Structure 1
């Protein structure tokens, strides 16, 4: 398993005052780093320490968010999945939140167990690790055994659910500044993030979704799931089978064959294609920490806390333009763009033309794998094209200056799902049969 930060955390700032003061403190530290950086540039003409500044700020921000945990750290994790959003120093730090944040001390874990079951973990299991084996943004995982069977026991951090709404208000200005986003977009999408994060803090809901989706997907080749145990679960604790295997980075370090990479990639593609087009709800948190790969190349899938239900009207519009004839039909395309709120009636004609071509390009790139019998996600040129579109300064300036949010909220997590899926397939350098249920 991946090594986690060994610094044990004995408390979490839980009151609004404590959490606000921690945000203020890190904001002041970041400002100090900027002042030091610009002072050096004035005093030393040869100084070019922008990367050093990013590293200092990334370290300070990550330490604060990992101490606060919850939605603050979850937003950092979401940012780290998009390689185009942040400087590399932030991405490297924020990726740690996927499975290696500083864990909570055992007394706090015991307190959660006693509140849920009236018993400490040692009274429920034969063994229970004193320290977490994985620690992420919403909770941490302990390895337990009972009657010779291994269990993964996920314990939610105290105060996480209660602080979601207030934390997002504090995170918003940091996100706007660091990513240079359109503030109207951020305001628009924050409600969707809040709803999804609140659902992630409800482990009883996650138990229901986990059992439902794993049962529906059990026929998919080369995938395996844990069983979930209601008797050892509650609103703050979730118990499942312990899955043996490696996370993505550990798996890739073993230099697996192309055949095994393709096998894992195909399983991942088939899993997501079935959820989106058959179930109309999807595991919307495809970061490497949520997948386990066995020695023989089977894909284990864990953590169904973040599940996006896809409304039928949105589904129809979203995938209508995956069909080339529809995309190339100007009347049809503009109708869908209006329904999806990519373009508004009161936009200027020049903006309408620009945005029409921009969103046409975005969707065409996203849809490209669907229009091949097989697609090589190891192909660098495809991802360079995505990056070039994302980094285009003219695109960024127009979207940032827009006074309207672009796109309806339902697109946020589905776009994130496809981005995460493509990113993992790219890391695998997998060649995948990409025929989709949608086109059948």
Structure 2
């Protein structure tokens, strides 16, 4: 397990006034950092401190979001998964939200247990760690022992569910400014984000999904899941088996062999391909904090809070153009782009042509691993192509200037899933068989 931030929180700002106040304070601090930065550029013509500015702002924003937790911190976590979205300083800092946010103090944990069971954790378990062993955006995990068996007990932070909607309204302008996004797109996708975050705060729903998906995926090779315990769980507490192993960064530090890297990567690919194409629902939170890997390369999957159900019409359109013959068919491509709301009839012909070229390139790159099996995810050239499309100024201007949202809401979490999957496979430097249920 990771070493989490040792600063323990005794309370979480829960009222709207308290949370708004914290957002205002961090906004003022960021503004002060900008003033300091530009003052230095005036005084010292050789000053090249933009990276220092990013580091200061990233630290201040992360500290504020860590204190608030919940959806505010979850958005930071989502942003950190997309390395093209933010300056590196933000990405590095926000990745901490995946498993090392400041934990809550034990009295607050005891209070949550008393509300759920009428008992403190030490009255239910023989042993219960006083400190969290893992602290993320929605909740924190404690190690517990009962009758000689080890359990991971996830305890939700107080007030998280109640603050989702109001937090997103406050986060939106920060996200638009920091990422330079099209405000129409942000507004369009906000409802999807809100619905998914609300589902993540319902541990009864997570328990149900965890049991269903792990049962449906139990035969996938080299993948393991914890058992879940309804009698030791509630809407704010989720108890499962403790899985021994390491998160991805610690696993990579052990310098695993290429064979083990490929084994983990293949298991990850097979797990996601089965969910998407057979179950039509997917564990849509593929960040390193949600996987436990042992030295033999057995992949443990945890945290089914963020599950995206994939509607059939959207599924058919989304994967239709991953077939090269369809992508290269002008009539077919035009129809799917219209169905997916990538391109509108009211767009100018110039914009239609530019958007067609942009989305065609994105789909070709996304689908390339499916048609090049085995695929080597260590190749920098492939990921440089992804970065080049995102960094292209003409593409950025085209998307930012649009007065219409581009793409259906259902694409947000499926795109995020594939990006997260490819990113982890790249970190593993894995070469795997990328055959898919869909193409077979």
Specify the alignment match of 1:348 in structure 2: 348
The CA deviation string for residues 221-261 of structure 1, in whole angstroms up to 9 with x for no partner, is 00000000000000000000000000000000000000000
1:306-337 Cα distance to aligned partner (Å, 9 max, x none) = 00000000000000001011001100000000
Question: Which residues in structure 2 correspond to 1:256-335 (within 5 Å)?
Answer: 256-335=256-335
Q: Secondary structure at the match of 1:269?
A: helix
Paired residue secondary structure (1:255)? coil
1:78-89 matches, within 5 Å, as 78-89=78-89
> Is 1:39 aligned to residue 39 of structure 2?
yes
1:419 aligns with 2:419: yes
- Cross-structure match for 1:216: 216
Supply the distance in 2 between the matched residues of 1:348 and 1:311 (Cα, whole angstroms): 30
Query: Which residue number in structure 2 is paired with residue 48 of structure 1?
Result: 48
SS at match of 1:427: helix
3-state secondary structure, aligned to 1:155 = strand
Task: For 1:358 and 1:219, locate their aligned partners in 2 and report how far apart those are by CA, in whole Å.
Answer: 39
The CA distance in 2 between the partners of 1:44 and 1:323, in whole Å, is: 55
2:197 maps to 1:201: no
By how many angstroms is 1:295 displaced? 1.7
Match in the other structure for 1:177: 177
Describe how 1:397-416 pairs up with structure 2 within 5 A. Answer: 397-416=397-416
Q: Give the structure 1 partner of residue 249 of structure 2.
A: 249
Distance 2:18 2:205 in 1: 29
Q: Which residue of 2 aligns with 1:430?
A: 430
The equivalent residue for 1:122 is 122
Q: 1:382, 1:91 → 2: CA distance? A: 20
Q: Residues 98-124 of structure 1, C-alpha deviation per residue, up to 9 Å, x if partnerless? A: 000000000000000000000000000
Alignment of 1:67-78 (within 5 A): 67-78=67-78
Aligned to 1:112: 112
CA distance in 2, matches of 1:56, 1:353: 41
Separation in 2 of the partners of 1:335 and 1:17? 48
Q: Matched residues in 2 for 1:244 and 1:360: separation?
A: 43
Give the drift of 1:415. 0.1
Q: Report the alpha carbon displacement of residue 372 of structure 1 after superposing the two structures with TM.
A: 1.6
For 1:59, the equivalent position in structure 2 comes to 59
Aligned to 2:155: 155
CA distance in 2, matches of 1:295, 1:145: 24
The 5 A counterparts of 1:90-101 are 90-101=90-101
1:381 & 1:295 partners in 2: Cα distance? 29
Q: CA deviation at 1:154?
A: 0.1
Residue 337 of structure 2 corresponds to residue 337 of structure 1: yes
Alpha-carbon separation, structure 2, partners of 1:437 and 1:191: 31
Distance in 2 (CA, whole Å) between partners of 1:55 and 1:372 is: 39
**Residue aligned with 2:438, SS:** helix
Root mean square deviation of aligned Cα: 0.4
In structure 2, distance between residues paired with 1:44 and 1:147: 66
Q: What CA distance in whole angstroms lies between the structure 2 residues aligned with 1:227 and 1:135?
A: 21
Tell me, yes or no, if structure 1 residue 190 matches structure 2 residue 190.
yes
* 1:260-309 Cα deviation digits (max 9, x unpaired): 00000000000000000000000000000000001211000000000000
Q: Render the CA deviation track for 1:315-374: whole Å, top value 9, x for unaligned.
A: 000000010110011000000000000000000000000000100000000000000221
Runs of 4+ with deviation above 4 angstroms:
none
Q: In 2, distance between residues paired with 1:107 and 1:80?
A: 31
**Alpha-carbon distance in 2 for matches of 1:278, 1:46:** 58
Name 1:4's counterpart in structure 2: 4
TM superposition score normalised by structure 1 = 1.00
1:395-439 Cα distance to aligned partner (Å, 9 max, x none) = 001100100000000000000000000000000000010010001
Query: Distance between the aligned counterparts of 1:326 and 1:52, measured in 2?
Result: 47
Correspondences of 1:353-372 after superposition (within 5 Å): 353-372=353-372
Q: For residues 74 and 110 of structure 1, what CA distance do their matches in structure 2 show?
A: 24
5+ residue gaps, structure 2? none
Offset of 1:151 from its aligned partner? 0.1
Q: How many residues align?
A: 440
Q: Following the alignment from structure 2 to structure 1, what is the Cα–Cα distance between the partners of residues 248 and 36?
A: 38
Give structure 1 stretches of 5+ with no counterpart: none
